[in-house]
Structure 1
């Protein structure tokens, strides 16, 4: 069985217009999707002792994700206020709460039991990447970060390096993939939203068109694509089949609210009225 751990960011995504919050965050989303695809998944991170933390814990447990290294700390669970424009998500404001944590020796040793560990650039764990790479293969989501120095420092440790390339053309996507492969990454995934995706290694180059659907909410689609790609690579599936399955899974994510579902009534206890007013104003300006 494919075994993948995800370590890093989590959040509750708060949809003001719906009055609902959903578990989310790049690493949490990858862990849930790996489990749904049939893998053995674990999530290593930190949540607060609040209702938002309860939601995250319950959602991960119900999705059969190992939460033995999920710590609960004093302080608020991270949240992000989400707006929408034509079904595309808009990040209005956020608070990282207790989600930025320092892994301990037990956390790092735990990763040795997994084929790969997924980490996102927003998790604040870059300093730990070399040691994590000594424990398991590394999957890293660069998201929209483009600094060459950062690409080199992290890319050389990656089994799978993922890049959010929405807005990039074919030439730009290939250039970024070539740079990461030259750094030492074994595989590079560039997702480009409605323009499809590119998966490359030194010997393989595959593209896939996006599966066109009428989207409800695009939040989490890229994380789903990453999870299915990593899962397929570790299963040694054919790259073209991996991309096709990933495109289908990402399209399915776009057809429900929240990255992984599990809606609950929004908890506004940690969100001040000033933040809510500012967030609603931003939503009105982008509507």
Structure 2
């Protein structure tokens, strides 16, 4: 299996630690896949600042191919966060930095993405217009939450696995939303709920998975970790219960390491001011 993340890379700056860690939904997917021995790549946009150079250095270290990514003059995507009771709290961000200009994928880029078995897109990736062109790879799409109804309708027919993070939202509300999504031909829907576990809907049938109770040191990237592990299992034709269990175990390991996947670097002083 080969997987690719398409869209956002974000450097998370921890003001409480004076450290920065590489992240972003699409980039996390590509990086987390390396923990499973999966060949992975990332297609996105990098800035020209020292934050971007740090991001590229981590990708090289993890052997994630980013040769089809572009570099644009300006700031790389970044957010500023802190930890409160070991839960990450976002302070502010530059809303993707140079990614706001779009990905500008070429026919060669699309052909490259279609060489992979699974492609991860997301609501922050500035890449929805390319979804109809992804004809070979299975598409995983992270909508983040239930807040953008119009986005669901636009991309539903072009995705194979829809992912949502809903926290402690009431189960009745979740069921109502899922029924709505199914009208858009979304047949595979993954709902992560933090310490309440996860629910996977396949053709209207719900498979539930309890969370694994561990002592978390940082919750950053836990949902991305779950999505990555589940997708790798699911599109490798493993049974659903095994996929959910594998994803739960991996997400539990994720919250026991700092940042999205370690590789910290000292935070430049100019960002360490609130």
**TM superposition score category, shorter chain reference:** over 0.9
State the partner residue of 1:283. Answer: none
State the partner residue of 2:89. Answer: 90
SS of 1:123's equivalent in the other structure is coil
- Cα distance in structure 2, aligned partners of 1:17 and 1:257: 12
Deviation at 1:196, TM superposition (A): 0.3
State the partner residue of 1:281. Answer: none
- Cα distance in structure 2, aligned partners of 1:104 and 1:91: 34
Superposed CA deviations along residues 229-257 of structure 1, whole A, max 9, x for unmatched, are 11111111111111111011111111111
Number of aligned residue pairs: give it.
Answer: 271
- Could you tell me which runs of 5 or more consecutive residues in structure 2 were left unpaired when the two chains were aligned: none
State the partner residue of 1:280. Answer: none
Please identify runs of 4+ aligned residues in structure 1 that moved more than 3 A: none
SS of 1:122's equivalent in the other structure is coil
- Cα distance in structure 2, aligned partners of 1:39 and 1:204: 29
State the partner residue of 2:80. Answer: 81
TM-score when normalising by structure 2: 0.93
Deviation at 1:153, TM superposition (A): 1.7
1:143-162 superposed matches below 5 A: 143-162=144-163
TM-score when normalising by structure 1: 0.89
State the partner residue of 1:138. Answer: 139
- Cα distance in structure 2, aligned partners of 1:162 and 1:39: 21
- Cα distance in structure 1, aligned partners of 2:39 and 2:173: 35
1:1-287 superposed matches below 5 A: 2-95=1-94, 96-100=96-100, 101-102=102-103, 103-132=105-134, 134-202=135-203, 204-269=205-270, 271=271, 276-277=273-274
Cα contact 2:254–2:260 (8 A) shared by 1: yes
- Cα distance in structure 2, aligned partners of 1:37 and 1:113: 19
Q: Structure 1 21/117 Cα, relative in aligned 2: closer, same or farther at 3 Å?
A: same
